[in-house]
Amino acid sequence: MIRSFDHYDFDAASLVERKGGERISVCLPARNEEDTVGEIVSRIHEQLVERVPLVDELVVIDDHSTDATAARAEAAGATVVEAASVLPDVAGGPGKGRALWRSLHVSSGSIVAWCDTDVTNFGTQFVVGLLGPLLVEPDLLYVKGFYRRPLGTGGDGGGRVTELVARPLLSLLHPDLTSVVQPLSGEYAGRRVALEQVPFVCGYGVEIGLLIDLAARFGVDAMAQVDLGTRRHRNRPLRDLGPQAMTIMQVALRRAEPGFVDESGVLVRPEEPPLAVTADELPPLLSVREYLARHHPTESP
């Protein structure tokens, strides 16, 4: 069983006293999130940077947005980095996993926390809850958030891909991870020394890839999860979830049996055009020369 915590177990002021020499970066991947990103950045900056100095660095990685995402994030207090400008020869184009990988490169924290930017009820307990276990339990390397996910204005019902795809796959292929409540959650944090050692799936499969790879490399005892309360965000229509589900299946199956399925496939649905779905990956940042030069200059070739 993976250790579980509640965000109520921690408060920002107490965690500041536990930081020691740790430097904390909060990185927010965003693509066309002008309606929500400003409020999220503002709350983190006002409450966890200015009022209580828990967060040392707040970065928005703007993943090829075509709206006012970058301007609103910068106005609210974030350092905004254009994803396209970060290691373009290695990372290529857009994609959530690419944005996360790039943010790990451009940030400086020994602990890095990631949160999605489409959340409409964001509170700083998301950040405090993720950081708490890492600051009070030095043996932990990675923390996943979980929450209740209402579907629309009704009761619980969000997380459809989790229930129909991710959880069955973990039960069949990775039973040591079945106690993870939200394996696909977009809120998680980890120590750089662990995150830089694993690959990042470029797209939708990044969360399940990190979960499986970190567990395989460091063991489930180095992982924890924390209850963050309730999370509301933009729910996608069912037809948009097919590519996401297929990518997650590709990632999980390839880790259970390398070569069993290809990184690239075609999703075929009646009365829909065939859709190419890829689960390509970026290498561990420790293998990237530019990353070594920035973060481990004494080890850089």
Which candidate, 98, 39, 30, places its Cα nearest to that of 67?
Answer: 30
CB-CB contact of 128 with 208 (8 Å): no
Asked whether residue 99 is assigned to any structural domain, the reply reads yes
Residue 44 has pLDDT above 60, yes or no: yes
Number of H helices, E strands in the chain: 12, 12
The pTM is what? 0.94
Asked whether residue 301 is assigned to any structural domain, the reply reads no
Q: Report pLDDT for 9.
A: 96
Asked whether residue 138 is assigned to any structural domain, the reply reads yes
Residue identified by tokens 């390509």 is 280
Asked whether residue 157 is assigned to any structural domain, the reply reads yes
CB-CB contact of 107 with 190 (8 Å): no
Q: Report pLDDT for 221.
A: 97
Q: Give me the CATH number covering residue 283.
A: 3.90.550.10
Task: Tell me the C-alpha to C-alpha distance, in Å, between residue 243 and each of 31, 53, 232, 275.
Answer: 18, 40, 22, 8
Asked whether residue 108 is assigned to any structural domain, the reply reads yes
Task: With H, G, I as helix, E, B as strand and everything else as coil, classify residue 265.
Answer: strand
CB-CB contact of 188 with 130 (8 Å): yes
Q: Report pLDDT for 92.
A: 86
Lowest-pLDDT range, 64-68, 94-98, 146-150, 278-282?
146-150
Q: Report pLDDT for 155.
A: 43
Handedness of CA 36, 37, 42, 44 (dihedral sign): positive
**pLDDT tens-digit map of 86-120:** 999 998 889 999 999 999 999 999 999 999 999 99
| CA 134 from centre of chain | 16
Percentage with pLDDT > 70 across the chain: 95
Look over the chain and give the mean of its residue pLDDT values, rounded to a whole number. 93
Asked whether residue 300 is assigned to any structural domain, the reply reads no
**Domain residues for 228?**
3-295
Give, in degrees to the nearest 5, the angle at Cα 29 between 221 and 132: 35
**pLDDT tens-digit map of 112-158:** 999 999 999 999 999 999 999 999 999 999 999 999 866 554 444 55
Q: Report pLDDT for 84.
A: 95
How many domains, the chain? 1
Structure-token pair, residue 91: 């990372």
Q: Report pLDDT for 159.
A: 74
Q: Which residues of 195-232 are buried (b: 16+ CB within 10 A; e: fewer)?
A: bbbbbbbbbbbbbbbbbbbbbeebebebbbbbbbbebb
**pLDDT tens-digit map of 205-247:** 999 999 999 999 999 999 999 999 998 756 667 778 889 999 9
Return d(Cα 109, Cα 57) in angstroms, integer: 7
**278 C-beta neighbours (distance < 10 Å), count:** 18
Task: With H, G, I as helix, E, B as strand and everything else as coil, classify residue 7.
Answer: helix
Per 3-state DSSP, the chain is made up of helix, strand and coil in percentages (nearest 5) of 45, 20, 35
Task: Tell me the C-alpha to C-alpha distance, in Å, between residue 11 and each of 5, 129, 250.
Answer: 13, 8, 39
Residue identified by tokens 């390397």 is 141
Q: Report pLDDT for 247.
A: 95
